[in-house]
Amino acid sequence: MPYVEILAPPIPAERRQKVVTAVTEGLCHAFSVGPETVTIYFLDIAPGAYAHAGAMGALPEEQRIFVKVHAYRRGIPERRKAATALTAPLAGIYGTPERTLAVYFFDRAKDEVAHAGLLSSDAEPA
């Protein structure tokens, strides 16, 4: 953990790898975790499957990008650092203004997460 969901227009494989590098490095630095803990899911949202302000579709460079970071609870400084580390690089890779990119943090306590059928609070020292 963290797991990251990126809801955004489809991009080519070489640009996806840039996203993977930016997100992994940004979260590792912000949250002081190793890269083996970061998993990224690309959820491609085509313009015809997107609406904003009551209107369907958008040009890919105008489509809002939604990044969800699921992780154990972190403090405000760490979340602030992560938001900064993700926003500019992802906006650049997707070719969209930073104002169209939102990062939401879905923090969980260790007793609210299970891996391999075992609560993280039971598997890891407090």
pLDDT value of residue 84? 97
pLDDT, tens only, 40-99: 999 999 888 988 888 887 776 788 999 999 999 999 999 999 999 999 999 999 999 999
Q: Determine the Cα–Cα distance for residues 110 and 24; give it in Å rounded to an integer.
A: 21
Q: Determine the Cα–Cα distance for residues 35 and 80; give it in Å rounded to an integer.
A: 19
pLDDT value of residue 115? 87
pLDDT value of residue 124? 66
pLDDT value of residue 9? 93
| Residue 1 pLDDT level (bands cut at 50, 70, 90) | confident
Q: How far is CA 102 from CA 84, 86, 97, 122, in A?
A: 11, 10, 11, 33
Position 126 pLDDT exceeds 70 = no
Homologous superfamily of the 3-123 domain (CATH): Macrophage Migration Inhibitory Factor (3.30.429.10)
Domain boundaries, the chain: 3-123
Model pTM?
A: 0.90
Q: Determine the Cα–Cα distance for residues 63 and 101; give it in Å rounded to an integer.
A: 9
pLDDT value of residue 56? 86
